[in-house]
Amino acid sequence: MILLKADKSKISYVLITVIISLLRFVRGFVFMKLLSLSELGIITLVSTIMGLFVILQIGFLNGGYRIFSVNNPNKWKVNDTIYSYFFILEGIIFIGILISFLFNQINIEELFLGILAAFFGLILILNNWNRNILIAQHKLKEINKLELIATIISFLFLILVFWFGLIGALIVIFSRELIFYILTVARNKNYLPQKFSFNFPEAKWILSFGFLPFIAGTILQMNIQVETWSIASFLSTEELGKFYLPQLYITLFLIVPQAINKLYFPRVMQEFVLENFNKVKKFIKLNFILNISYTLFVIIVSFFFMELVIKFVVPEHLVGIPFIWIIIPGLSVYVILQPINLIFNAAVRLNPFIWSSAFGFVLTAIMLLIFGFNQSLSLEKVALAKTLSYSLISLILLAILMYNKQNIWKVNYLKENLNNKFI
């Protein structure tokens, strides 16, 4: 068992990812209990501004991660370029917030919150980038330690919400990102940029490895938007509340597979470039085994315990359980076939991600709009559209892989492009 023998830090990384995600849910529960609706609205606004950086990274993190994963000699120049891009982005967002204030679109309090959110949004995306570098360099013990320290300290700040309300909540949100960033660059000073460096040939080279996966991921997020607004528009916000539990279940279900996939990625990329295809296939096979085992485990646990737990903790959400069981088949197919993504990523054959995710999005949109305008939309049909979308996205990737199973095991593109030097 290659990866199971490798070191315990991989298992620790997955477990810590799960623990941190659960703590975030606890944090959200505390916010809902202690803050007013208007204060929760401000939290949402701040989080939205911070999230702009995740959307506007346009694939730089994806491409840079691939370049670091194969230990390209130009990787630190990539680091300079990515930092420079986000500094430019920060300046543009800051100017936009200031213009909104000058034209009386926002008041002084909103200006202050906007500037804070923009600053910590920059820290958030730089933390995501630092995590990519740490994983690509196999520093799993270090990232485990940093994540735990930052999360525990920020979690302790939750007590401030009892005393200071909104201000305490913002401290909790901001502190984790700031602590993680300071600790990371303090231990790895070479992660800081050496100079401001941004030009289009460099940016184009990085994005050639990251833009298409970014677009595919964005399309998948659009699926969620279509589902949410379809329920809210054609049904009601109350019905949307009933669908909260299925959305939460999906988020929890995907935490472990996504963490495992991120751990495999650098090693698979390295072995693929070195043409060690037998090792690549062993990693892929083990990934399949882990994903299948995990999926079966979660389904069994859900079957025996989900209703009991929901009934005990939040009985008003029992209504969402039938929708979960409609979604589980498609979600299971999606998780089990995740290793296929590693093959396409390693070969830098990225167009299939666009085709499959676009097809899933179009299918979901057409189904929900037809049902909606015919006044026959229901949460059961939303769940059905979701499970069909998950299934078809994965099966399309599988079909493309089978069709190109001979050509996929080539490294021409990687050798010609990942080994390029900046112009």
DSSP string across 365-376: HHHHHHHHHTT-
Average pLDDT over residues 296-312: 90
Is the pLDDT confidence value at 160 over 60?
yes
Is the pLDDT confidence value at 422 over 60?
no
pLDDT of residue 7: 56
* CB-CB contact of 79 with 65 (8 Å): no
Residue 65's contacts (CB-CB under 8 Å, 6 or more residues apart) are 132, 136, 210, 265
The distance in angstroms from the start CA to the end CA of the chain is 42
Confidence band for 44, pLDDT divided at 50, 70 and 90 = low
Burial per residue of 170-202, b for 16 or more beta-carbon CB atoms within 10 angstroms, e otherwise: bbbbbbbbbbbbebbeeebeebebeeebeeeeb
Confidence band for 416, pLDDT divided at 50, 70 and 90 = low
Separation of CA 350 from chain center: 18
Confidence band for 208, pLDDT divided at 50, 70 and 90 = confident
Mean per-residue pLDDT of the chain: 83
For 116-147, the pLDDT digits (tens) are 888 888 898 999 999 989 988 888 888 888 98
Is the pLDDT confidence value at 18 over 60?
yes
Please report which helix (H) or strand (E) contains residue 65, including its range.
helix 60-69
Alpha-carbon gap, residue 193 to 215, rounded angstroms: 27
pLDDT of residue 292: 94
pLDDT of residue 138: 82
Percent with pLDDT over 90 in the chain? 21
Average pLDDT over residues 349-361: 85
CA atoms within 13 A on the CB side of 417: 20
Higher pLDDT residue, 22 or 170? 170
Q: In a 3-state reduction of DSSP, which class is residue 405?
A: coil
Whether the pTM exceeds 0.85: the reply is: no
At position 355, the amino acid (one-letter code) is W
pLDDT of residue 328: 95
Number of Cβ within 10 Å of residue 92's Cβ equals 11
| Range among 161-165, 287-291, 331-335 rated most confident | 331-335
Smallest Cα–Cα separation from 131: which of 301, 313, 315, 259?
A: 259
Smallest Cα–Cα separation from 323: which of 252, 250, 393, 375?
A: 250
Confidence band for 418, pLDDT divided at 50, 70 and 90 = low
pLDDT of residue 336: 95
Confidence band for 398, pLDDT divided at 50, 70 and 90 = very high
CA distances from 217 to 54, 220, 230, 353, 355 (A): 11, 5, 20, 9, 12
**Least confident interval from 32-41, 49-58, 253-262:** 32-41
